[in-house]
Structure 1
Amino acid sequence: MASLNVYSALVVLFLTCGAAMATKENDHIIRENNCKTKMALACVLEAFTSIFETGSISNKCCGELFVLGKVCHSAFVKRTLENPLFKDLSPATIIAKSIQTWNNCLALIDSPSPSA
């Protein structure tokens, strides 16, 4: 019985340390890449809504997301998923929506604009 308690304590410690390390890693990526200064708040909200809720992202904000870069985009999504407020969301679903939003924006950026 004592070994079960020790084992449980080790599992909890491992999971807690892993989550703390992931948070520090994402924070480091965000800080090192100066991610917080690359998008206007309105576009951050559009991107958030398109990933974590039901919404779309405008062409203008797709351009800002592209400038933000995939590394910053991924770090922000992962850090948001670590927030206890979002514990009930499916990480797999959110990651899929994040990739879909990125790919949709990339397609908009890569497609030639209609001529005037």
Structure 2
Amino acid sequence: MESLNVYSVLVVLFLTCGAAMSTKENDQIIKENNCETKIGLPCVLEAFTSIFEIGCISNKCCGELVVLGKVCHSAFVKRTLENPLLKDLSPATIIAKSIQTWNNCLALTDSPSPSA
């Protein structure tokens, strides 16, 4: 139960920081970190589907997501959440799925490869 409370606090903090950040600031973070050059379009689409819809992300794209980095990942998610076409989505749900996708990919890329 304690981990659920810690998780809830982290989500609230993440949302608060996200709400304070404008699209312009997210765009600046993306530009300054060359985020758009660090991940291919097919993997962007997989990550988007994994976070904003129902789907999973491949091992290959998990690797690209981790190379992209947490700062770029968060900026992309926050910028996408500000899109008026997605106004009906729950930011808390999206942030939770974003964190889950990031953590799953990070764990996957940190784990040793199975031996053949």
Is the shorter-chain TM-score for this pair beyond 0.5, marking a shared fold? yes
Q: What secondary structure sits across from 1:114 in the alignment?
A: coil
> What is the rounded CA distance, in whole Å, between the counterparts of 2:104 and 2:23 in structure 1?
27
Alignment of 1:1-116 (within 5 A): 22-116=22-116
Superposed CA RMSD in Å reads 1.4
- Percent identical among aligned pairs is 88
> What is the rounded CA distance, in whole Å, between the counterparts of 1:66 and 1:99 in structure 2?
12
The equivalent of 2:15 in structure 1 is: none
The amino acid of 1:74's aligned partner reads S
> What is the rounded CA distance, in whole Å, between the counterparts of 2:91 and 2:35 in structure 1?
22
Post-superposition shift, 1:31? 0.4
> What is the rounded CA distance, in whole Å, between the counterparts of 2:78 and 2:109 in structure 1?
24
> What is the rounded CA distance, in whole Å, between the counterparts of 1:31 and 1:68 in structure 2?
13
Query: Could you list the runs of 4 or more consecutive aligned residues of structure 1 that deviate by over 6 angstroms after TM superposition?
Result: none
> TM-score when scaled to structure 2?
0.81
Post-superposition shift, 1:53? 0.1
> What is the rounded CA distance, in whole Å, between the counterparts of 1:89 and 1:77 in structure 2?
12
The amino acid of 1:72's aligned partner reads C
- Gapped regions of structure 1 (runs ≥ 5): 1-18
Number of matched pairs: 98
Post-superposition shift, 1:100? 0.1
> What is the rounded CA distance, in whole Å, between the counterparts of 2:59 and 2:88 in structure 1?
30
> What is the rounded CA distance, in whole Å, between the counterparts of 1:84 and 1:115 in structure 2?
47
Question: Computing the radius of gyration over CA atoms, which structure comes out larger, 1 or 2?
Answer: 1
Deviations 1:46-66 (A, max 9, x none): 000000000000000000000
Deviations 1:53-87 (A, max 9, x none): 00000000000000100000000000000000000
Post-superposition shift, 1:21? 5.9
> What is the rounded CA distance, in whole Å, between the counterparts of 1:87 and 1:105 in structure 2?
27
